[in-house]
């Protein structure tokens, strides 16, 4: 195992399954309030039933209920829209987007589903990484880590735009440790070809065998 250290247009055409807004606690969010401004298209699409899942409130923890077998859920457009939702900051959108991304990428065939549409998955992750909101930024890191593990070296050609928003966090701020962990993950999963790309954007990167 190796660790990193530092020396210094989405479609919403899916079969509707009823508006999940009917299952949302109205005290948490009112999707029809004129005062609510969605951060992304995700909130509107989810509220209108465009995502085949809904939030189930539990006494101890919440969970997602998928309306169909999760293995049958198409990554395009569902995963793309969920990734856009990483930039949301309000409940239940934060929970639905982050949990949905994690559960889809945890499928056994996630590699073959995600790899062909990487060009659509990268922009929303990069948007989350560019956020000044800590929660959004960390959600972007988590998604990037998981996607890197799923697609491996296929992510290498997208590393430059993904590393750009990370570069400013490698030497300062409370995100430093998580950022270096993510860079190490990208290097491990990307193999030797990823190293010069990472070094180009983050010269202080080194890789240590543990």
What does the pLDDT read at residue 39? 62
Q: What is the DSSP letter of 57?
A: -
What does the pLDDT read at residue 175? 87
pLDDT tens digit string along 112-154?
Answer: 999 999 999 999 999 999 999 999 999 999 999 999 999 999 9
- Identify the band that residue 40 occupies on the pLDDT scale cut at 50, 70 and 90: confident
Angstrom distance (rounded) from CA 42 to CA 72: 20
Angstrom distance (rounded) from CA 192 to CA 67: 41
What's the rounded mean pLDDT across residues 196-206? Answer: 92
94-121: burial string, b at 16+ Cβ within 10 Å, e else: bbbbbbbbebbbebeebeebbbeeeebb
Angstrom distance (rounded) from CA 17 to CA 5: 47
Angstrom distance (rounded) from CA 22 to CA 2: 47
Angstrom distance (rounded) from CA 74 to CA 135: 27
Q: At what angle do helices 159-167 and 176-190 cross, to 10 degrees?
A: 160
What does the pLDDT read at residue 34? 41
What's the rounded mean pLDDT across residues 171-193? Answer: 92
pLDDT tens digit string along 143-152?
Answer: 999 999 999 9
Asked if 71 and 103 count as a contact pair (C-beta separation under 8 A), the reply is: no
Which residues are paired to 207 by β-bridges?
4
Angstrom distance (rounded) from CA 62 to CA 75: 23
């Amino acid at each position: 195992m190796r660790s990193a250290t530092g020396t210094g247009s989405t479609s919403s055409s899916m079969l509707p399954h009823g508006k999940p807004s009917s299952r949302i606690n109205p005290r948490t969010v009112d999707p029809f309030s004129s005062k609510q401004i969605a951060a992304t298209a995700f909130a509107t699409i989810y509220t209108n039933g465009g995502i085949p899942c809904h939030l189930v409130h539990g006494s101890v923890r919440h969970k997602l209920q998928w309306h169909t077998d999760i293995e049958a859920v198409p990554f395009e457009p569902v995963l793309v829209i969920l990734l856009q939702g990483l930039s949301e900051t309000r409940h239940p959108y934060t929970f639905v987007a982050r949990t949905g991304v994690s559960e889809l990428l945890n499928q056994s065939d996630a590699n073959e589903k995600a790899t062909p549409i990487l060009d659509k998955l990268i922009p929303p992750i990069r948007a989350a990484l560019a956020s000044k909101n800590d929660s959004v930024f960390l959600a972007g890191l988590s998604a990037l880590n998981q996607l890197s593990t799923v697609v491996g070296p296929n992510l290498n050609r997208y590393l430059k735009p993904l590393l750009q928003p990370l570069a400013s966090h490698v030497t300062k701020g409370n995100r430093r440790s998580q950022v270096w962990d993510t860079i190490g993950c990208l290097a491990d999963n990307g193999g030797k070809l990823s190293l010069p790309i990472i070094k180009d954007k983050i010269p202080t990167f080194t890789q240590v065998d543990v």
